[in-house]
Copies of this chain bind each other. A is one copy, B any other.
Amino acid sequence: MVIEKARVISLSKISNNYYLIKVHSPLIAREIKPGQFCNIKVSDTDFPLLRRPFSICDVENDNLIFAFDIHGEGTKILASKKPDDILDILGPLGNGFNLEGSYELAIIIGGGIGIAPFPFLVKNLPNNVAVKCFIGGKTSEHLIKYNLKNIYTATDDGSEGFHGNVVDLFNNEIKNFLTKNFRIFACGPTQMLRSLQKIALEKNYDCQLSVECAMACGFGICQGCPIEKSNGDGYYLVCKDGPIFNADMIIV
Protein backbone atom coordinates (compact mmCIF):
# COMPACT_ATOMS: atom_id res chain seq x y z
CA MET A 1 0.00 0.00 0.00
CA VAL A 2 1.61 3.23 -1.19
CA ILE A 3 0.69 6.67 -2.48
CA GLU A 4 2.01 7.38 -5.93
CA LYS A 5 1.88 10.59 -7.94
CA ALA A 6 0.98 9.02 -11.25
CA ARG A 7 1.31 10.74 -14.61
CA VAL A 8 -1.68 10.42 -16.91
CA ILE A 9 -0.67 8.73 -20.15
CA SER A 10 -3.99 8.68 -21.94
CA LEU A 11 -7.70 9.09 -21.47
CA SER A 12 -10.08 7.54 -23.94
CA LYS A 13 -13.84 7.36 -24.21
CA ILE A 14 -14.86 3.81 -24.98
CA SER A 15 -18.58 4.28 -25.43
CA ASN A 16 -21.49 6.24 -24.12
CA ASN A 17 -20.07 7.81 -20.94
CA TYR A 18 -17.51 5.10 -20.24
CA TYR A 19 -13.86 6.06 -20.11
CA LEU A 20 -10.47 4.37 -19.81
CA ILE A 21 -7.65 6.23 -18.11
CA LYS A 22 -4.07 4.97 -18.25
CA VAL A 23 -1.53 6.25 -15.75
CA HIS A 24 2.16 5.60 -15.13
CA SER A 25 2.33 4.12 -11.65
CA PRO A 26 5.17 1.58 -11.41
CA LEU A 27 5.06 0.91 -7.68
CA ILE A 28 1.38 0.08 -7.59
CA ALA A 29 1.53 -1.71 -10.97
CA ARG A 30 4.09 -4.10 -9.51
CA GLU A 31 1.95 -4.93 -6.49
CA ILE A 32 -1.68 -4.84 -7.48
CA LYS A 33 -3.75 -8.04 -7.87
CA PRO A 34 -7.05 -8.61 -9.73
CA GLY A 35 -10.07 -7.38 -7.76
CA GLN A 36 -8.07 -4.90 -5.74
CA PHE A 37 -8.73 -1.20 -6.11
CA CYS A 38 -7.10 2.20 -5.75
CA ASN A 39 -8.39 5.30 -4.01
CA ILE A 40 -7.75 8.28 -6.24
CA LYS A 41 -7.55 12.01 -5.46
CA VAL A 42 -8.97 13.47 -8.66
CA SER A 43 -7.92 17.08 -7.97
CA ASP A 44 -5.03 18.82 -6.23
CA THR A 45 -7.43 21.13 -4.39
CA ASP A 46 -9.67 20.24 -1.44
CA PHE A 47 -12.56 19.86 -3.89
CA PRO A 48 -13.80 17.20 -4.05
CA LEU A 49 -12.64 16.43 -0.54
CA LEU A 50 -12.50 12.64 -0.56
CA ARG A 51 -10.63 10.19 -2.74
CA ARG A 52 -12.62 8.10 -5.22
CA PRO A 53 -12.25 4.30 -5.29
CA PHE A 54 -11.73 2.51 -8.63
CA SER A 55 -11.06 -1.15 -9.34
CA ILE A 56 -7.95 -2.02 -11.23
CA CYS A 57 -9.14 -2.75 -14.77
CA ASP A 58 -5.85 -3.72 -16.36
CA VAL A 59 -2.10 -3.42 -15.93
CA GLU A 60 0.38 -2.89 -18.77
CA ASN A 61 3.96 -3.05 -17.46
CA ASP A 62 4.29 0.06 -15.28
CA ASN A 63 0.90 1.43 -16.20
CA LEU A 64 -2.45 1.12 -14.48
CA ILE A 65 -5.69 1.26 -16.42
CA PHE A 66 -8.97 2.18 -14.82
CA ALA A 67 -12.39 2.02 -16.45
CA PHE A 68 -15.00 4.43 -15.16
CA ASP A 69 -18.25 6.12 -15.99
CA ILE A 70 -19.24 9.68 -15.18
CA HIS A 71 -21.29 9.52 -12.03
CA GLY A 72 -20.87 12.90 -10.32
CA GLU A 73 -18.36 15.69 -9.73
CA GLY A 74 -15.36 13.48 -9.07
CA THR A 75 -15.63 11.28 -12.12
CA LYS A 76 -16.45 14.36 -14.21
CA ILE A 77 -13.12 15.85 -13.15
CA LEU A 78 -11.39 12.53 -13.81
CA ALA A 79 -12.84 12.49 -17.33
CA SER A 80 -11.33 15.94 -17.93
CA LYS A 81 -7.75 14.81 -17.28
CA LYS A 82 -5.16 15.33 -19.98
CA PRO A 83 -1.89 13.53 -20.67
CA ASP A 84 0.85 14.58 -18.20
CA ASP A 85 -1.66 15.63 -15.57
CA ILE A 86 -0.75 14.10 -12.21
CA LEU A 87 -3.10 11.85 -10.24
CA ASP A 88 -2.55 11.07 -6.57
CA ILE A 89 -3.24 7.35 -6.24
CA LEU A 90 -3.47 5.30 -3.06
CA GLY A 91 -3.17 1.56 -3.57
CA PRO A 92 -3.26 -1.36 -3.92
CA LEU A 93 -6.25 -1.66 -1.61
CA GLY A 94 -8.59 -4.48 -0.65
CA ASN A 95 -8.28 -8.25 -0.79
CA GLY A 96 -8.72 -9.01 -4.49
CA PHE A 97 -10.25 -12.11 -6.07
CA ASN A 98 -9.27 -15.52 -4.80
CA LEU A 99 -7.85 -17.39 -7.80
CA GLU A 100 -6.60 -20.40 -5.80
CA GLY A 101 -8.29 -23.77 -5.79
CA SER A 102 -9.44 -26.12 -8.51
CA TYR A 103 -11.84 -24.88 -11.19
CA GLU A 104 -11.75 -25.38 -14.95
CA LEU A 105 -14.06 -22.57 -15.93
CA ALA A 106 -14.23 -18.93 -14.83
CA ILE A 107 -17.68 -17.47 -15.36
CA ILE A 108 -17.56 -13.68 -15.36
CA ILE A 109 -20.69 -11.66 -14.81
CA GLY A 110 -20.52 -7.89 -15.16
CA GLY A 111 -23.22 -5.25 -15.25
CA GLY A 112 -22.44 -1.89 -16.82
CA ILE A 113 -19.19 -0.46 -15.50
CA GLY A 114 -19.10 -3.56 -13.31
CA ILE A 115 -16.91 -5.27 -15.88
CA ALA A 116 -14.07 -3.00 -14.77
CA PRO A 117 -12.12 -5.58 -12.70
CA PHE A 118 -12.30 -8.40 -15.24
CA PRO A 119 -9.76 -7.69 -17.98
CA PHE A 120 -7.01 -7.88 -15.36
CA LEU A 121 -8.63 -10.90 -13.73
CA VAL A 122 -8.76 -12.84 -17.01
CA LYS A 123 -5.06 -12.10 -17.62
CA ASN A 124 -4.20 -13.65 -14.29
CA LEU A 125 -6.31 -16.79 -14.33
CA PRO A 126 -4.43 -20.10 -14.32
CA ASN A 127 -3.71 -21.16 -17.93
CA ASN A 128 -5.89 -24.23 -17.76
CA VAL A 129 -8.96 -22.25 -16.83
CA ALA A 130 -11.49 -21.43 -19.56
CA VAL A 131 -13.49 -18.16 -19.48
CA LYS A 132 -17.05 -17.21 -20.32
CA CYS A 133 -18.11 -13.57 -19.97
CA PHE A 134 -21.68 -12.51 -19.30
CA ILE A 135 -22.00 -8.78 -19.87
CA GLY A 136 -25.10 -6.72 -19.24
CA GLY A 137 -26.12 -3.14 -19.82
CA LYS A 138 -29.12 -0.85 -20.33
CA THR A 139 -28.49 -0.73 -24.09
CA SER A 140 -25.83 -1.94 -26.52
CA GLU A 141 -24.18 1.43 -25.77
CA HIS A 142 -23.74 0.29 -22.18
CA LEU A 143 -21.94 -2.96 -22.97
CA ILE A 144 -18.22 -2.83 -22.29
CA LYS A 145 -16.21 -5.62 -23.94
CA TYR A 146 -12.77 -4.11 -23.45
CA ASN A 147 -10.16 -6.95 -23.51
CA LEU A 148 -12.76 -9.67 -22.92
CA LYS A 149 -13.53 -12.78 -24.98
CA ASN A 150 -16.25 -15.50 -25.17
CA ILE A 151 -18.90 -12.90 -24.52
CA TYR A 152 -22.61 -13.40 -23.93
CA THR A 153 -24.45 -10.08 -23.90
CA ALA A 154 -27.73 -8.97 -22.38
CA THR A 155 -29.42 -5.59 -22.70
CA ASP A 156 -32.47 -4.26 -20.86
CA ASP A 157 -33.83 -2.86 -24.14
CA GLY A 158 -32.89 -5.86 -26.23
CA SER A 159 -30.75 -3.70 -28.52
CA GLU A 160 -28.06 -6.39 -28.36
CA GLY A 161 -28.00 -10.03 -27.29
CA PHE A 162 -30.42 -11.35 -24.71
CA HIS A 163 -33.38 -9.10 -23.96
CA GLY A 164 -33.31 -8.85 -20.18
CA ASN A 165 -30.84 -8.67 -17.36
CA VAL A 166 -27.50 -10.43 -17.33
CA VAL A 167 -28.32 -12.65 -14.36
CA ASP A 168 -31.31 -14.15 -16.16
CA LEU A 169 -29.09 -14.69 -19.18
CA PHE A 170 -26.54 -16.45 -17.01
CA ASN A 171 -29.31 -18.52 -15.45
CA ASN A 172 -30.49 -19.66 -18.89
CA GLU A 173 -27.02 -20.57 -20.10
CA ILE A 174 -25.64 -22.15 -16.97
CA LYS A 175 -27.11 -25.56 -17.80
CA ASN A 176 -24.50 -25.84 -20.57
CA PHE A 177 -21.69 -25.59 -18.08
CA LEU A 178 -22.96 -27.62 -15.18
CA THR A 179 -20.72 -30.53 -16.17
CA LYS A 180 -17.74 -28.27 -15.66
CA ASN A 181 -16.23 -27.31 -12.35
CA PHE A 182 -16.71 -23.56 -12.50
CA ARG A 183 -16.22 -20.42 -10.34
CA ILE A 184 -18.26 -17.26 -10.73
CA PHE A 185 -16.71 -13.79 -10.50
CA ALA A 186 -19.28 -11.01 -10.47
CA CYS A 187 -19.36 -7.24 -10.23
CA GLY A 188 -22.13 -4.75 -10.89
CA PRO A 189 -25.09 -2.91 -9.42
CA THR A 190 -26.31 -4.06 -6.00
CA GLN A 191 -29.58 -5.29 -7.49
CA MET A 192 -27.70 -7.56 -9.89
CA LEU A 193 -25.42 -8.91 -7.17
CA ARG A 194 -28.44 -9.61 -4.95
CA SER A 195 -30.27 -11.68 -7.53
CA LEU A 196 -27.09 -13.51 -8.46
CA GLN A 197 -26.29 -14.17 -4.81
CA LYS A 198 -29.74 -15.68 -4.33
CA ILE A 199 -29.16 -18.16 -7.15
CA ALA A 200 -25.60 -18.93 -6.07
CA LEU A 201 -26.71 -19.70 -2.52
CA GLU A 202 -29.63 -21.89 -3.60
CA LYS A 203 -27.52 -23.88 -6.03
CA ASN A 204 -24.49 -23.32 -3.87
CA TYR A 205 -22.25 -22.23 -6.69
CA ASP A 206 -18.67 -21.20 -6.04
CA CYS A 207 -19.22 -17.44 -6.39
CA GLN A 208 -17.18 -14.32 -5.58
CA LEU A 209 -18.85 -10.90 -5.53
CA SER A 210 -17.11 -7.54 -5.88
CA VAL A 211 -19.21 -5.06 -3.93
CA GLU A 212 -19.29 -1.28 -3.80
CA CYS A 213 -20.08 1.16 -1.04
CA ALA A 214 -19.28 4.71 -0.07
CA MET A 215 -15.74 5.02 1.26
CA ALA A 216 -13.70 7.72 2.88
CA CYS A 217 -10.22 6.32 3.50
CA GLY A 218 -10.17 3.04 1.60
CA PHE A 219 -7.63 1.45 3.92
CA GLY A 220 -9.44 0.68 7.15
CA ILE A 221 -9.14 3.73 9.37
CA CYS A 222 -12.55 5.40 9.06
CA GLN A 223 -14.86 2.37 9.41
CA GLY A 224 -17.16 4.04 6.93
CA CYS A 225 -17.64 1.03 4.66
CA PRO A 226 -19.45 -1.74 6.59
CA ILE A 227 -21.24 -4.65 4.96
CA GLU A 228 -23.33 -7.02 7.03
CA LYS A 229 -21.97 -10.49 7.75
CA SER A 230 -24.37 -13.28 6.85
CA ASN A 231 -23.59 -14.96 10.14
CA GLY A 232 -25.21 -12.06 12.00
CA ASP A 233 -22.13 -11.11 13.93
CA GLY A 234 -21.61 -7.51 12.86
CA TYR A 235 -19.94 -6.12 9.78
CA TYR A 236 -17.00 -6.58 7.46
CA LEU A 237 -15.20 -3.51 6.12
CA VAL A 238 -15.55 -3.49 2.35
CA CYS A 239 -12.20 -1.71 1.88
CA LYS A 240 -10.16 -4.15 3.97
CA ASP A 241 -12.08 -7.42 4.20
CA GLY A 242 -13.42 -6.87 0.67
CA PRO A 243 -14.28 -5.63 -1.85
CA ILE A 244 -14.41 -9.32 -2.89
CA PHE A 245 -16.60 -11.62 -0.79
CA ASN A 246 -17.80 -15.17 -1.27
CA ALA A 247 -21.54 -15.11 -1.91
CA ASP A 248 -22.22 -16.86 1.41
CA MET A 249 -20.28 -14.41 3.59
CA ILE A 250 -22.35 -11.24 3.30
CA ILE A 251 -25.81 -9.79 3.02
CA VAL A 252 -25.60 -7.70 -0.15
The residues of A with any CB-CB pair to B shorter than 8 Å are 45-47, 73
Contacts and interface: CB of A to CB of B under 8 A. Distances in A.
Nearest to A77: B45
Contacts of A47: 45-47
A45 B46 CA distance: 12
A73 B44 CA distance: 11
Nearest to A47: B47
4 contacts: A45-B47, A45-B73, A46-B47, A47-B47
A73 B47 CA distance: 12
Contacts of A46: 47
Nearest to A45: B47
A73 B45 CA distance: 8
A121 to B, nearest CB: 35
Contacts of A73: 45
A47 B46 CA distance: 8
Nearest to A46: B47
A65 B61 CA distance: 46
A78 to B, nearest CB: 13
A46 B47 CA distance: 8
A45 B73 CA distance: 8
A78 B172 CA distance: 56
A75 to B, nearest CB: 13
Contacts of A45: 47, 73
A192 B10 CA distance: 49
